[in-house]
Amino acid sequence: MRVRSDEPDRFRAVAKSLDLAAVNVVDLSCSPSEVWRTSRLIRQFDPEVYSIIFPVQGQVTVVQAGREAPLRAHDFALYDSWHPFQLRIEADDIMAKLVRVQFPRASLPLPARRLESLLAVALSGKDGVGALLTQFLTRLTTDSASYRPADAPRLGTVAVDLLSAAFAHHVDAALPPDSHQRTLVSRIEAFIQRNLHDQRLAPRSIAATHHISVGYLHRLFEPHGVTVAAWIRQQRLERARRDLADPVLRGVPVHQIAARWGFNDHSSFTRAFRGVYGIPPRDYRHLSQASSDLTAVE
């Protein structure tokens, strides 16, 4: 690609890249500029990838296939690497902030012919699957420091499923059943994570919120190897364990941390914590924070 700026001496760009197996997510801050991919550059090399882009701050216009899509907040657009394109990046302030996601052409379970109708078309990320997609991708760029290497392929799978669901919504193409299910599971898992503090969180309320039966919810969670209730308890215990190890929270009583993550009975929390981590929560906090203090001294 080529980049041109009206003020090259003042041009600045900062790109933070996150690789999720075959999916690449870039958080880009840059000065107003124009980006081209010409036919000549395509002949030199074509990775055969799709990309989507959306602005977090400022505006970007995507030009491809005879169409032009001005994008503002909550809009995103698709473009590909094997047709010439142009990106016009604008900002009222010094820098625009964008999120760009790149993924292999073969990764989407949708006909390329149908996807061509979406090239350089402004798609809404304000509601529905579009909002779920842009929120997930934005969160990826802000929380990347907490991911482990093993998380990358899983997050990449979630990203491809959400991309497929968003594009299928617009081209009215049927997704394979397993892709529908993975997207639904991702939505349910995110809902559970957001509501771990709620003591009323249970399979029945989760199923009702997502308009499915309790039996179908349990079938969706069979690949986890545990029941829905057990998975919820695992997530609550892990959040509590992190808080107990956090030096900033050393003054917060253990029972308050337990209640914060949905455990209303302290003795039940203590038994569950010891059953998973081998020691009571108070002892775990003492050992974790003693180790943290020793590391700080060294």
Task: Please report, as a single letter, which amino acid is at residue 59.
Answer: Q
Task: Please report, as a single letter, which amino acid is at residue 210.
Answer: H
pTM (two decimals): 0.62
Give yes or no on whether 2-123 and 176-298 have one common fold: no
- Provide the greatest CA pair distance for the chain: 69
Task: Please report, as a single letter, which amino acid is at residue 278.
Answer: G
Q: For every one of its 298 residues, what pLDDT tens digit does the chain have, with 9 covering 90 and above?
A: 999 999 899 999 999 999 988 899 999 999 999 999 999 999 999 999 999 999 999 999 999 999 999 998 889 999 999 999 999 999 876 799 999 999 998 888 787 888 999 999 999 998 889 999 999 999 988 877 778 888 888 888 889 989 988 998 888 655 566 666 777 887 888 889 888 888 889 999 999 988 889 999 999 999 888 899 999 999 999 999 989 988 888 889 999 999 999 998 889 999 999 999 999 999 999 998 776 554 444 4
**Which secondary-structure segment (H or E) carries 114?**
helix 112-115
**Domain 2-123, architecture per CATH:** Sandwich (2.60)
Domain ranges of the chain: 2-123, 176-298
∠ CA(57), CA(59), CA(65), 5° rounding? 140
Which top CATH class is 176-298? mainly alpha
**Which secondary-structure segment (H or E) carries 231?**
helix 228-245
What 8-state DSSP symbol labels residue 65? Answer: T
